[in-house]
Amino acid sequence: MPEDLLDAAFAARKCSHSPYSNFRVGAAVRTTDGRIFTGSNVESSSYGLTICAERLAICIAIHEGHKDITEIAVVADTSGAPGPCGACRQFMYDFAPTATVLMANLNGDRRTVNVGELIPWGFGPSDLLSFESRRGDSNE
């Protein structure tokens, strides 16, 4: 596993703003040019407005003009290697569908999968483009 990416995710976890759950998560993404962008979860008192670490890291990479994400690392204090939530899995499928996902907990448990394994038969941008091309100009 790329230790530098996991190290970046561990460091990002320290920046978590999680006063309600105290569940701190760190994430890091690597782009095709080797740059690493990090994020941590940022909680809102209205939990639905909380931003997950994985989505924040992806958004920062995209904001900085880096859309080709090859790897995603996520770190949390869980009993096993942490799986991303459903919203993050969808976000990964939309923005990094072929990325490798590295998951690690604080005890050294690790798991590596690709995004397709996290969200099999996912629905993403290519499905919408396919629909639009079939639909043409009609408003049926």
**pLDDT per residue as tens digits for the range 69-119:** 999 999 999 999 999 999 999 999 999 999 999 999 999 999 999 999 999
Pick the closest to residue 38 from 22, 49, 23, 25 (CA basis). Answer: 25
82 inside domain: yes
Q: What pTM does this model have? A: 0.89
140 inside domain: no
Q: Domain range spanning residue 24?
A: 3-135
Report the CATH number at residue 12: 3.40.140.10
pLDDT digits 0-9 by tens, 22-79: 999 999 999 999 999 999 999 999 989 999 999 999 999 999 999 999 999 999 999 9
- pLDDT at position 2: 84
CA distance linking residue 10 with residue 7, whole number of Å = 5
- pLDDT at position 128: 84
Burial class (CB in 10 A: 0-12, 13-18, 19+), 103: buried
- pLDDT at position 136: 62
The sign of the dihedral angle between the CA atoms of 117, 118, 120, 125 is negative
Catalytic machinery residues: 54
93 inside domain: yes
Counting the structural domains of the chain, the total is 1
In the predicted structure, residue 139 carries a pLDDT above the cut 60: no
